[in-house]
Structure 1
Amino acid sequence: MSKQQIYEIKESAIADPGPLGLACFALTTFCLSAVNAGLVGAGAVTVVIALALVYGGATQILAGMWEFKKNNVFGCTAFSSYGAFWISLGVFDCLKILNPNWKVPEEGVLLFLIAWTIFTFYMWIGSFKTNKALIVTFTLLLITFILLDIGAAGNHAAHTLGGYAGILTALAAWYTSAAGVINTVFGRVVLPVK
């Protein structure tokens, strides 16, 4: 093997960005879902905005771009898309803060959530060929979006239940992220995902 070939192999080898992307998704989802479930006051949404723009948004998009480098179409599509979801949500909330009289029309929120439910549905199907931990995460996420859709259509109880389902989604994503980190560091399966 030539020095050039060795350099190319080293240059293309990157760490698995999946645990990072899942951690970004989990933490931001957990915080917003705690607000949606009514476990913390609505004022906590300012924390969610910061997370949505930086960790759940920009950092998760970076994880998605690194998944492109690893040729992982599922990972790059999921992380890049949900990162954009979080940035979009953060922008909506920033606009509300900058102009308190401005409000996203209810049908706009419903449209936004339904569109993300459709995307989540086919990503859920794609998750069937990954591992059980991701299947659980995407199943819970799909349930969360469906409940939030119903909530956006005017059912407050469904919105609250969507918050609790989102917390479960975050816990499943954190578990999957932790498995990626811990299993890699220990060099063996400590937290199974299959």
Structure 2
Amino acid sequence: MADLEKGTSATASGVNHTHNQTGVYDEGSAFRNSPTSPVKNRIANPGSLGLFSFASTTLILSLYNVVARGITTPNVVVGMALFCGGLGQLLAGMWEFPKGNTFGATAFSSYGCFWLSYATIFIPGSGIIASYDGNMDEFASAVGIYLMIWMTVTFLLFIASLRKTIGFIALFFFLTMTFMLLGAGMFVTPSSASMGVSLQKAGGALGIVTALIAYYVGLSELLAAERAAVVALPLGVFKHD
């Protein structure tokens, strides 16, 4: 979600302030370095932080969903969901606002909140799972609805991504499909448990693809921020009239 991808630049315009060379407090200088200043500032692109945080947390949970190394209890992801996928993305989303990137701010902040809320479900102290009093079928249906709601949010972001780059289109397409399969897997009745497992594994496989795409896009933005980057990774930018 870099400035280049947004089609914007951070050039100074419209404001003329005198530089203070004496080290004395200069109100004009303070304004000039403000994140909301209409002139050039040095706010770094938070896109790579958000994308790497999202990709890492998604990859771990997706590997658990495909039962990698025989792991069937995914609770180790809770810490990652709280501090990496949750807090990391939320911070990235907040810094996208002063950069004027509505899409990035909405996406990162939303998925930061998703991971924080998802982790809370599996924290014993939250009492969420305990409130179902052993009725795991009802709990599974509740989680299924939760995932389907996030599928809807992701699909709306997918629509918005159609005016971004091929990289973002692929990212949100596969993420939409991941949520759909994981949610559908939670709705499967006990008599079709094997189908539910298959849907969960399919969702996990697509989640791995999604994470790898997010890593690629994040690395592309990280390299684009370096003046002397050895290589550049194309995102498939569309030219708008």
TM over 0.5: yes
Q: Among all aligned residue pairs of Structure 1 and Structure 2, give the percentage whose two residues are the same amino acid.
A: 36
Distance in 1, Cα, partners of 2:125 & 2:140: 14
The structure showing larger relative contact order (alpha-carbon pairs under 8 Å, at least 6 residues apart) is 1
Match of 2:64 among 35, 48, 52: 35
Residue 182 of structure 1 and its aligned partner are, at CA, apart by 1.4
1:11 corresponds in structure 2 to 34
Alignment of 1:149-164 (within 5 A): 149-154=183-188, 155-164=196-205
Report the structure, 1 or 2, having the larger helix content. Answer: 1
2:178 corresponds in structure 1 to 144
Name the larger-Rg structure: 2
| Greater Cα shift, 93-102 or 59-68 | 93-102
1:162 counterpart letter in structure 2: G
1:2 corresponds in structure 2 to 17
1:94 counterpart letter in structure 2: I
Distance in 1, Cα, partners of 2:129 & 2:187: 23
Q: For residues 109-134 of structure 1, what are the alpha-carbon distances to aligned partners after superposition, in whole Å with 9 as ceiling and x for unaligned?
A: 01101110110110000111111111
Residues 144 and 163 in structure 1, CA contact (< 8 A), matched pair in contact too: yes
Distance in 1, Cα, partners of 2:127 & 2:79: 15
Pair 122,97 (structure 1): closer, same or farther in 2 beyond 3 Å: closer
| TM-score of the pair, normalised by structure 1 | 0.91
Residues 57 and 84 in structure 1, CA contact (< 8 A), matched pair in contact too: yes
Quick check: 1:133 aligned with 2:163?
no
1:61 corresponds in structure 2 to 90
**Count of aligned pairs between the two proteins:** 193
**RMSD after superposition:** 2.1
Q: For residues 5-60 of structure 1, what are the alpha-carbon distances to aligned partners after superposition, in whole Å with 9 as ceiling and x for unaligned?
A: 554343322111111101110000000000011114134x2331000000100111
Distance in 2, Cα, partners of 1:115 & 1:183: 34
Distance in 2, Cα, partners of 1:160 & 1:96: 28
Distance in 1, Cα, partners of 2:219 & 2:153: 25
Distance in 2, Cα, partners of 1:115 & 1:95: 24
Distance in 2, Cα, partners of 1:146 & 1:22: 21
1:72 counterpart letter in structure 2: N
Unaligned runs of 5+ in 2: 1-15, 19-26, 36-40, 189-195, 237-241
| TM-score of the pair, normalised by structure 2 | 0.74
Residue 141 of structure 1 and its aligned partner are, at CA, apart by 0.3
